[in-house]
């Protein structure tokens, strides 16, 4: 306990004779701790008036506040436009470590026994240049896996089952990024429609794991058992050398708009926790009904305390921040890179080893901030996503009807680490590269549909983006046309190849490694069904795509020239950077016109590592973005006597160890394809 810190030890702290609840509210007139019977969560056994200190922290002690106890808070205060007090409501402690559900819209806070034997298991601490993120849904990943016992499917325990770990190891990813696992609920609109919030971006509490993802046995055991199962999952993944990253939603809560539920923050201090104008109208930059006010120090502290808890007590390795631009908005609701919360997250001693990944936008004014976060942050790179999709999909679609709209220069910049987006100080590892994510088309749908098919979402196909940059290759959705199917398969290999051979941190969406489909739905957030669960029964072409995914990840591990830590600088050797040389199809140096002309969509990218801890490595990547084959002359390069082809996207099945080619020799490159060579 730090007595000099006015916000120390918020939530429940236990002692030898019960416990103490500490809760912050600046505008309340009175707060009351309410304790419930062990079995009947509507039967109040004790009410304790809370007292306020000079820092607006309210506290109460009770000998009934012990492990397993369910409790709530009542709050009274002024009736003003910015407040929403109701002394009859039973509210959640914002710092509760566990929740117990009473009804469809009511919960109780739970005092949790968080003791756990980690057995000496440590965090893997994967170096950034070797990190490969695998974005997955806890339930959806294992729900249909035939080798996971039925009672474990779709649970925390199921995710850590040996069958799941074997797949992750076999694939070659390093870090599992889980869609939200903070306790959440479905929005009122979805409930009325008979739908659910499957993704989980509707948080009830920032400290409690979502109980519905635990096994039935753990749920029956209560909040203690749910937390133990969650920690057990983390421990087993760590033992397997896999990191756990949480997708966290601090920008808004499940209390929705002003007329929405009052479950916690709104009833405790609406004026302080949510952005409002003088009339009490919400300033919503999230599109979710409310926005947490990070111009105020107490909501900032809530986020930091939550992150510390998950990083220290639950041993989480990193966090991906949903709509992270919201966390950087000041009192004037303007984004600023030097926002105290953004700085504190990456400088807090308890968090310095954690990976911090921003979704660098929200829906407010000035909401797109890719590249503008401070050093120490990594960012989802939507500009990378869009350029790569354009090059391999929408440009090809356009070229079939006219000429290719752009050349290869912008694509090459993304391939080399997006130096036009991220500063030299931050380098290529600031970029989290992705082609797909949980929202949007899957990889297979990206090459199979021109438009979204979201009628099943209940919004008359209005929801979900229309800017997919996709290409169906000649037929919308399923087809028996073998030429179209072959073109789609190669397009998926090109997209995965670009992702896994680019400088930066790659992120794969679960199931994309073998071509999972959502039947053209690009916003399947409200479907908890086989539409969104990963299917593990595969057709032969899917096994072939999985083999390519494995091979590409193997090549990334083996070749440091593909994963530089820093941007290179002309005329000097930068440790940890890759020296890059660019050649045209004839083996000559790229001219200015070659970079910008739509007539040139072929290049050769030669990358040489600058050794620090690994041996010297040199690779040559040929990229050809036209639907006609081309002959390419391999470039002359100092010290290179041969090129050994180690991957070709034109192959249905990956082939390694082909014959070597001497510099100056011509190789045939198939239409819209890539080839990777090791230079020797």
What's the residue count for the chain? 680
Q: What is the per-residue DSSP string for 482-523?
A: HHHHHHHHHHHHHHHHHHHHSSSEEEEETTGGGT---TT-S-
Q: Is-contact 260 289, C-beta < 8 A?
A: yes
d(C-alpha 616, C-alpha 580), whole Å: 14
**576-594: buried (b, 16+ CB within 10 Å) or exposed (e) per residue?**
bbbbbbbbbbebeebeeeb
Residue matched to tokens 């639950």? 314
d(C-alpha 554, C-alpha 572), whole Å: 30
Residue matched to tokens 């209005």? 462
Quick one: which of 401, 394, 490 has its CA closest to 449? 394
Q: Is-contact 319 285, C-beta < 8 A?
A: no
Supply φ then ψ for residue 381, to 5 degrees: -100, 90
Vertex 320: Cα angle to 504 and 333 (nearest 5): 110
Quick one: which of 431, 395, 303, 421 has its CA closest to 600? 395
Sheet containing 618-624: which strands, arranged edge to edge? Answer: 578-583, 602-609, 618-624, 673-679, 643-648, 660-661
Q: End-to-end CA distance of the chain, in Å?
A: 60
Question: Is 311 strand, coil or helix?
Answer: helix
CA distances from 616 to 429, 559, 607, 612 (A): 20, 9, 11, 9
CB atoms near residue 395 (< 10 Å): 26
**Which residues are 643's β-sheet partners?**
661, 679
d(C-alpha 274, C-alpha 270), whole Å: 6
CA distances from 260 to 88, 266, 290, 505 (A): 16, 10, 10, 39
Quick one: which of 596, 391, 591, 399 has its CA closest to 502? 391
CB atoms near residue 39 (< 10 Å): 7
Q: Give, as one character, the DSSP assignment of residue 417.
A: T
Helices 540-558/482-501 angle, 10° precision:
20
Catalytic center residues: 322, 359
For the record, the structure tokens of 225 come out as: 């058992």
Question: Is 625 strand, coil or helix?
Answer: coil
Q: Give, as one character, the DSSP assignment of residue 540.
A: H
Question: Is 413 strand, coil or helix?
Answer: helix
**176-199: buried (b, 16+ CB within 10 Å) or exposed (e) per residue?**
bbbbbbbbbbbbbebeeeebbbbb
Q: Residue 539 burial by CB count (10 A; 0-12/13-18/19+): exposed, middle or buried?
A: exposed
Residue matched to tokens 């506040």? 65
| Signed CA dihedral, 167, 169, 173, 174: sign only | positive
d(C-alpha 48, C-alpha 31), whole Å: 9
Element (H, E) at 677: strand 673-679
């Amino acid at each position: 306990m730090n007595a000099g810190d006015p916000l120390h030890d918020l939530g429940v702290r236990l002692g030898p004779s019960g416990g103490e609840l500490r809760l912050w509210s600046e505008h309340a007139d009175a707060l009351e701790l309410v304790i419930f019977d062990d079995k009947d969560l509507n039967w109040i056994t004790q009410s304790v008036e809370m007292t306020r200190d000079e820092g607006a922290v309210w506290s109460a002690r009770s000998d009934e506040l012990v492990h397993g106890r369910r409790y709530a808070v009542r709050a009274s205060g002024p009736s003003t436009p910015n407040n929403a007090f109701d002394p009859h409501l039973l509210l959640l402690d914002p710092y509760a470590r566990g929740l117990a559900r009473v009804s469809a819209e009511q919960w109780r806070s739970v005092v949790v026994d968080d003791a756990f034997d980690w057995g000496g298991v440590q965090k893997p601490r994967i170096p950034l240049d070797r990190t490969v993120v695998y974005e997955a849904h806890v339930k959806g990943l294992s729900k249909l896996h035939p080798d996971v016992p039925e009672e474990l499917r779709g649970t925390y325990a199921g995710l850590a089952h040996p069958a799941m770990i074997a797949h992750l190891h076999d694939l070659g990813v390093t870090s599992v990024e889980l869609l939200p696992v903070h306790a959440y609920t479905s929005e009122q609109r979805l409930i009325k429609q008979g739908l659910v919030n499957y993704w989980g971006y509707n948080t009830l509490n920032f400290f409690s794991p979502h109980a519905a993802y635990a096994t039935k046995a753990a749920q029956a055991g209560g909040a203690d058992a749910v937390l133990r199962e969650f920690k057990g999952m983390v421990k087993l993944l760590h033992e397997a050398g896999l990191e756990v990253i949480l997708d966290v939603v601090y920008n808004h809560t499940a209390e929705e708009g002003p007329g929405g539920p009052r479950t916690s923050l709104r009833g405790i201090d609406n004026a302080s926790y949510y952005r409002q104008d003088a009339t009490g109208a919400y300033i919503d930059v999230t599109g979710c009904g409310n926005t947490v006010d990070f111009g105020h120090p107490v909501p900032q502290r809530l986020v930091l305390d939550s992150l510390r808890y998950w990083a220290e007590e639950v041993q989480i390795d990193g966090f991906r921040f949903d709509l992270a631009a919201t966390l950087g908005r000041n009192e004037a609701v303007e984004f600023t890179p030097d926002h105290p919360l953004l700085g504190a997250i990456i400088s807090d001693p308890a968090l310095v080893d954690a990976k911090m990944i921003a979704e660098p936008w929200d829906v407010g004014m000035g909401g797109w901030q890719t590249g503008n976060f401070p050093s120490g942050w990594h960012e989802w790179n939507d500009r990378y996503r869009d350029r790569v999709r354009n090059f391999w999909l929408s440009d090809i679609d356009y070229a079939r009807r006219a000429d290719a709209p752009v050349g290869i220069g912008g694509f090459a910049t993304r391939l080399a680490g997006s130096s036009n987006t991220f500063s030299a100080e931050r380098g290529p590892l600031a970029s989290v590269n992705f082609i797909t994510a949980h929202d949007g088309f899957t990889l297979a749908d990206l090459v199979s549909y021109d438009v979204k098919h979201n009628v099943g979402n209940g919004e008359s196909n209005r929801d979900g983006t229309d800017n997919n940059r996709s290409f169906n290759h000649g037929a919308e959705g399923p087809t028996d046309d073998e030429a179209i199917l072959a073109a789609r398969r190669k397009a998926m290999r090109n997209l995965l190849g670009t992702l896994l051979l680019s400088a930066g941190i790659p992120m794969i969406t679960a199931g994309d490694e073998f071509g999972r489909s959502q039947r053209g739905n690009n916003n399947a957030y409200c479907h908890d069904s086989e539409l969104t669960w990963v299917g593990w029964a595969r057709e032969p072409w899917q096994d072939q795509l999985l083999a390519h995914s494995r091979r590409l990840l193997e090549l990334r591990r083996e070749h440091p020239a593909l994963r530089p830590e820093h941007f290179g600088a002309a005329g000097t050797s930068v440790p940890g950077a890759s020296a890059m040389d660019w050649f045209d199809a004839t083996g000559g140096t790229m001219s200015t016109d070659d970079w910008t002309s739509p007539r040139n969509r072929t290049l050769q990218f030669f990358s040489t590592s600058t050794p620090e801890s690994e041996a010297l490595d040199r690779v040559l990547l040929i990229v050809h973005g036209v639907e006609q084959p081309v002959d390419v002359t391999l470039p002359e390069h100092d010290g290179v006597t041969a090129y050994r082809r180690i991957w070709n996207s034109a192959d249905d099945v990956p082939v390694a160890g082909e014959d070597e080619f001497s510099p100056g020799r011509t190789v045939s490159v198939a239409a819209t394809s890539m080839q990777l060579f090791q230079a020797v």
